[in-house]
Amino acid sequence: MDSDKAVSYSGTPEQVELECEALALLDKATESKKSILLVSGVVSVFALFGAFVISSMLLGGLAIVAIGGIGAYYYSINDDDIEDRKLNLARWLVDTLKPELKANRPVQLDLDFRGYDNPKTDGSWMTLAMTLEDGVGLRLSISTHFKRKTRAKRKYTKIKDKLHERVSLTFVAPKGRSFDPAGKDRFKSHPVPKLQLRSVKISPKAATIVYSTPQMQRVSGRGGWSNVGLDNLVQGSTSVAAIIASYRALGVAAGSAAGGV
Q: Which residues contact 116 (CB under 8 A, 6 or more apart)?
A: 123, 125, 144, 145, 146, 163
Question: Is there a contact between 108 and 127 (Cβ–Cβ < 8 Å)?
Answer: yes
Q: What pLDDT, on the 0 to 100 scale, is given for residue 1?
A: 64
Ranges 47-61, 73-87, 118-132, 208-222: which has the least confidence: 47-61
Band the pLDDT of 228: cuts 50, 70, 90: confident
Average of pLDDT values for 140-145?
97
Quote the CA–CA distance of 188 and 167 in Å, as a whole number: 17
Average of pLDDT values for 9-32?
96
Q: What pLDDT, on the 0 to 100 scale, is given for residue 252?
A: 60
Q: What pLDDT, on the 0 to 100 scale, is given for residue 257?
A: 38
Q: Which residues contact 185 (CB under 8 A, 6 or more apart)?
A: none
Residue 38 predicted with pLDDT over 90: yes
pLDDT digits (tens, 9 = 90+) for 149-172: 999 888 888 999 999 999 999 999
The percent of residues above 70 in pLDDT, for the chain, comes to: 96
| Beta-strand pair 224-228/216-221 | antiparallel
Per-position b or e across 112-142, b if 16+ CB within 10 A of its CB? bbbebeeeebebbbbbbbbbbeebbbbbbbb
Residue 254 predicted with pLDDT over 50: no
Q: What pLDDT, on the 0 to 100 scale, is given for residue 235?
A: 95
Q: What pLDDT, on the 0 to 100 scale, is given for residue 253?
A: 43
Quote the CA–CA distance of 144 and 117 in Å, as a whole number: 9
DSSP string, 120-145: T--SEEEEEEEEBTTS-EEEEEEEEE
Residue 167: how many CA atoms within 13 Å on its side-chain side? Answer: 26
The closest of 90, 71, 78, 92 to 5, measured between CA atoms, is 78
Average of pLDDT values for 176-190?
85
User: Taking the alpha carbons of 42, 44, 49, 54 in that order, is the dihedral positive or negative?
Assistant: positive
Q: What is the pTM of this model?
A: 0.87
Distances from the Cα of 170 to the Cαs of 127, 167, 200, in angstroms? Answer: 11, 10, 10
Distances from the Cα of 80 to the Cαs of 4, 64, 214, in angstroms? Answer: 9, 26, 31
Greatest pairwise CA separation for the chain in angstroms? 87
The closest of 259, 173, 254, 161 to 215, measured between CA atoms, is 161
Helix, strand, coil content of the chain in percent (nearest 5): 40, 30, 30
Quote the CA–CA distance of 170 and 110 in Å, as a whole number: 15
Residue 142 predicted with pLDDT over 90: yes
The percent of residues above 90 in pLDDT, for the chain, comes to: 68
| Average pLDDT in the chain | 90
